[in-house]
């Protein structure tokens, strides 16, 4: 992941703008990494060639 720390578990302060990540991994690999950090997918959509996921950390 290219923004912030490389770990999917890094904490951040709340901002008004959403974070964007650019990755070389396949979507399933990224979701598996996020799941191991306690996130789950709430919703997903496609915008052009971009994937957008809404995640919730439990």
pLDDT digits (tens, 9 = 90+) for 17-31: 667 777 889 989 989
Phi first, then psi: what are they for 46, rounded to 5°?
-115, 135
Confidence grade of residue 4 (pLDDT, cut at 50, 70, 90):
very low
Per-residue model confidence (pLDDT) at position 27: 87
Pick the CATH number of 27-57 from 3.40.640.10, 1.10.10.10, 3.40.190.10, 3.30.1410.10: 3.30.1410.10
Which positions ≥6 away from 40 have C-beta within 8 Å?
55, 56, 58
pLDDT of residue 8 exceeding 70: no
Please state the domain extents for the chain.
27-57
């Amino acid at each position: 992941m290219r923004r912030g720390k490389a770990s999917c578990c890094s904490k951040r302060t709340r901002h008004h703008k959403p974070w964007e990540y650019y990755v070389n991994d396949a979507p399933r690999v990224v979701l598996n990494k996020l799941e191991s950090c306690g996130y789950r997918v709430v919703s997903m959509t496609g915008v052009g060639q971009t994937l957008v996921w809404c995640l919730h950390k439990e």
